[in-house]
Structure 1
Amino acid sequence: MTKKHRRHSTSKKREVVEAYFNGESMRALSQRHDICRTLIPIWIDKYERGEFDDDAIEEELLPKYETRIAALERLVGRQALEIEFLKTARAHTRSQRNGSTSVITGPSASRSDGGAN
């Protein structure tokens, strides 16, 4: 029976590797943490390369966060434009309501200053 692929947190990986460095066997670690024994040497290599350091993790996450921030800024910009458009449309609608208009006759005619013959 094959085991389902699982993801393990960096803190768990660090814990397993440090326990190995403290003298615990790979077999005991794999049984206690319910992980495949072949993962432990991989995690040891990554640990020694510094991939489980908090700074390295933050460096990996930084581009993802920057991409997400850019997407959110674009969304905010679109929403700001939409709000301005709706404010303008509302003001335009209010100004049209203030004048007396009729569906049949249209807007009332403006008064002449008397100069027309």
Structure 2
Amino acid sequence: MAKHRTHSIEFKRQVVQEFLGGESLHALARRHGIGRNLIKIWVAKFEAGGLDSDTAAADVLAEYEARIAALERLVGKLALENEFLKGVSRHVRQPKSASTSIVAGPLVSQSQKDAD
């Protein structure tokens, strides 16, 4: 089964401009190693403004990829910080009278006044 190649928007525009400049489909197809039908498709897309929407989609994709990379870096940083804090907590000794619950906080003694 043949593997599909992908071409950049700039390359597609270049081929379309060469075609619109007067070069034949056969010569373009042979020089670039692509099918004449593919060039016809690109020309039709270009004339319909489709290659511009591809550019917009490529820009959105690049933004998403940049955001994903930033989030992956943040996750890595937080994972390292978490591992560090786990290691530190293993080596720190808590006084036996201290509460180990984060929610409860320190133990509070009730006074007789509070009991009434």
Q: Identify the TM-score tier after normalising by the shorter chain.
A: 0.5 to 0.7
Normalising by structure 1, what TM-score?
A: 0.57
**Partner of residue 20, structure 1:** 19
Distance 1:19 1:30 in 2: 11
Sort the Cα spacing of 1:67 and 1:47 in 2 relative to 1 into closer, same or farther, 3 A: same
**Partner of residue 41, structure 2:** 42
Structure 2 alignment gaps of length 5 or more: 95-116
- How many residues in Structure 1 have an aligned counterpart in Structure 2? 94
Provide runs of 4+ in structure 1 moved above 4 Å. Answer: none
Distance 2:6 2:93 in 1: 61
Q: Calculate percent identity across the aligned residue pairs.
A: 30
Q: Indicate the SS of the match to 1:5.
A: coil
Residues 6-51 of structure 1: CA deviation (Å, up to 9, x unaligned): 2222222111111111111111111111111111110011112223
Task: Kindly report the root-mean-square deviation, in angstroms, between the aligned alpha carbons of the 2 structures.
Answer: 3.3
Sort the Cα spacing of 1:8 and 1:85 in 2 relative to 1 into closer, same or farther, 3 A: closer
Q: Indicate the SS of the match to 1:38.
A: helix
**Partner of residue 69, structure 1:** 67
Task: Tell whether the 8 Å contact from 1:50 to 1:56 is kept in structure 2 after alignment.
Answer: no
Sort the Cα spacing of 1:62 and 1:24 in 2 relative to 1 into closer, same or farther, 3 A: same
Structure 1 alignment gaps of length 5 or more: 97-117
Q: Which of residues 80, 85, 108 is equivalent to 2:78?
A: 80
Sort the Cα spacing of 1:63 and 1:90 in 2 relative to 1 into closer, same or farther, 3 A: same
Normalising by structure 2, what TM-score?
A: 0.57
Shift of 1:75: 5.8
Distance 1:69 1:57 in 2: 18
